[in-house]
Amino acid sequence: MFLNMSILHHLHTALCRDIRDFDGIARSNRVLAKHLYCFEGILVQVLVDQGKLDDYVIPIGKARIVRTGKDVTLIAWSNGMTYALGAGDELAKEGIEAEVIDLRTLLPLDEETILNSVKKTNKVLVVHEDTKTGGIAGEIAALLCEKAFADLDGPLMRVASLDTPVPYAPSLEEYFLPNAKKVFAAAKELARY
């Protein structure tokens, strides 16, 4: 919903993984004097970075390559970064080098970083906690089909929440949400192409 509203060009949409990114993006936004919607997931509260935050500015619309790799690109943001990084560690044990990109902001989207990574790895897996249908991963897939189709050596894959209402029971919620094991399995399958 908020991403669609951002088309009004006076809003930015950010999903921060940690307090350092939140602070940096908020500082950058003050310079631009635009409205910022910054969301955080439940896991963000656990991953708080206690580092010094003075004068730390993150350009809005600039993703960060958190882990470099050559075999597959994992694109994530917010809580999805925890799953992507966990899967990246397990993939490395299997000899698969995953490049992990933290988008940080969804609008504007850092197309350049995404497209450059796809040219390098030729395989893409998008990870997010939204449901598979109607999520931003579909927009990223459209971007890649329009601008990087010739660079893809395998299907563009997504790991997302199930297309059902969010369950209340913790055991069902765990089944509903993506996790590092699901990302690992999908990335390993993708790397075979």
58 assigned to some structural domain: no
H helices within the chain, ranges in order?
Answer: 2-5, 19-32, 79-93, 111-121, 136-147, 170-176, 180-191
Residues 137, 170, single domain; the answer is yes
CATH number of the domain residue 166 falls in = 3.40.50.920
Half-sphere exposure at residue 14, Cβ-oriented, CA atoms within 13 angstroms? 28
pLDDT at 104: 87
Which structural domain range is residue 167 located in? Answer: 64-191
- What residue ranges of the chain have pLDDT lower than 70? 1-19, 22-23, 25-57
136 and 70 part of one domain: yes
pTM, two decimal places: 0.79
pLDDT attached to residue 19: 66
Sheet with 72-76: list strands edge to edge: 64-67, 98-102, 72-76, 124-131, 157-161
* Contact assessment for residue 64 and residue 18, using Cβ atoms and an 8 Å cutoff: no
State the pLDDT at residue 59.
78
